[in-house]
Amino acid sequence: MTAAQRGLMIFTGIIVASVIFCGIIPFWFMPSVLEAAMALPVIQLPGEVLFDNVPILGTWTNTLTGVVITDILILLIVLAVRNPKMIPGRFQSMIELIKDYLYGMTKQVIGVANAGKIFPLIASIFLFVLIANWLELIPTVDSVGLAHCAQEGQKGYPINGTDKQFDGDIVALKVDENLDAGTTATEADYHACEKKWFGIVEAGEEGDTSDEATVDNAEAHADEAVTDDEAVTDDGDAAVEDSEASVEDEDTETDEAVIAAVTDEHDAEGGSADAQHAEEEHAGNPDILVVTPFVRAAATDLNFTLALALISFFAIQFYGIQALGVAYFYKFFNMPALGNAGKNPMGVMDFGVGILEIISELSKIISFAFRLLGNIFAGQVLLFVIPFLVATLLPGAIYGLEMFVGIIQAFVFFMLTLVFSKLAMEGHGDDHDEEHAH
């Protein structure tokens, strides 16, 4: 068999596998046979609230659950390698390999003398970010959670078996058509859903009972009025024998009363029909629900990445002050350069550059926070969208890509903290060196 023939066979195999796994299975087999298809999830940047009125915290979000799980996993790793064996197993060997590589990199960048001081922090940051990033790859993360009604503007799906109630059973949203992006809920849909599934009645609906009672009372008064009119009519008929003129007057009044009564009855019926029509127009669809996941990757929440950025930022300042003392602040307020401006007029410019360094230093917080957030959140959205379009085969490649991105982002956070700490611990110009020499 020639190379061209082998290449043709490989190419044919790729085409057949693509048709089966990217076409037949997701677009025919799953919707038709399994009655299940991939739903387009609700993509939301802030962490979704799971529980309100939590003591001390106030609210509990699904990203906070991700942080707690990350902490637990790190503690388990620490306990597993706390007493290392002379002949390490696979897990201990992997941890030691990672530790040796990171420590070697730290010594290479910042030197042996300072490596011991900074390594525990930056290694902890690396491990924490790595596990937090990989959390999104675990099945059920971002998919299993609390079902609730879709708010106005959100897309949602009905419950699979809408005769069920929320009685503690596990329910699933019904998605039996591929590429079904759901139904956009309106405010009326939200209130109808809250009333049907959770028994929450809108404030305006509480007055319905009293309104019905008012209508019943009005009808009762109307019946009494009709009875009185009949009595008056009988009296009028008796008076006809006494005076024909009175009879004519009473007949005229009776006719006017009957016309008025018929008109009022017609108006009442028309008003009831209009009210019923308006109620039908405002009745919402109660079967539009979404799921708030119990767990979401912590790094997809700006609160988490910003907290890490602040820890790294203050650690950098601490190492700089520890190494240089008060002279560290000359990087921002270059007093020696300003004091020597008479000999070196460029010192004024050096002082101005120091002021700009303050902006540069603060921008590191934004850089740290949004770099990690952007990469991990974008990866999470990609993991959502690709299975929605192609349910099999291709998502496996995306999982591999996101595993690689998780490692890279943890290493980038590690390296940036290390490099910026090294720059902070070094001197900031010849003027400083001259002052120290004197």
Q: In sequence order, what E strands does 64-144 have?
A: none
Last residue of a domain, one of 261, 282, 303: 282
The pLDDT score that the predictor gives to residue 416 is 93
Give the mean pLDDT per block of 10 residues along the chain (438 residues). 88 86 77 72 79 83 92 91 83 89 92 90 93 88 82 82 53 74 86 82 56 49 50 44 45 52 54 50 76 88 93 93 85 69 65 78 91 90 80 78 91 93 75 43
Separation of alpha carbons 410 and 299, rounded Å = 11
How confident is the model at residue 189, as a pLDDT?
87
Q: Are residues 345 and 411 part of one domain? A: yes
Tens digit of pLDDT for each residue in 184-211?
A: 888 888 888 888 887 777 655 555 544 4
Residue 396, in any domain of the structure:
yes
284: Cβ–Cβ under 8 A, 6 or more apart, which residues?
Answer: 185, 186, 187, 188, 189, 190, 191, 192, 193
Residues 234 and 118 in one domain: no
Q: Which helix (H) or strand (E) holds 115?
A: helix 112-134
Per-residue pLDDT, 69: 94
Q: Is residue 32 part of a domain?
A: no
Look at the chain and report how many structural domains it folds into.
Answer: 2
The verdict on residue 180 lying in a domain is no
State the amino acid at position 360 in one-letter form: S
Question: Domain limits at 105?
Answer: 49-140+294-437
> Is 1 within the bounds of a domain?
no
Judge whether 176 and 35 are in contact, CB under 8 Å.
Answer: yes
pLDDT of residue 436: 42
Q: Which of 282, 305, 326 is the last residue of a domain?
A: 282
Instruction: Check if the beta carbon of residue 64 is closer than 8 Å to that of residue 302.
Output: no
pTM: 0.70
Cα 45 to Cα 167: distance, rounded to the nearest angstrom = 30
Predicted pLDDT at 395: 78
The answer to whether residue 382 sits within a structural domain is yes
pLDDT tens profile 146-180: 888 888 888 888 877 645 555 545 567 777 777 77
The verdict on 225 and 110 lying in the same domain is no
Backbone φ, ψ for residue 169 (5° rounding): -75, 150
Instruction: Classify residue 2: in a domain, yes or no.
Output: no
Give the distance, in angstroms, between the CA of residue 274 and the centroid of all CA atoms in the same chain: 41
pLDDT for 144 equals 82
Based on the fold, state whether residues 304 and 265 are members of the same structural domain.
no
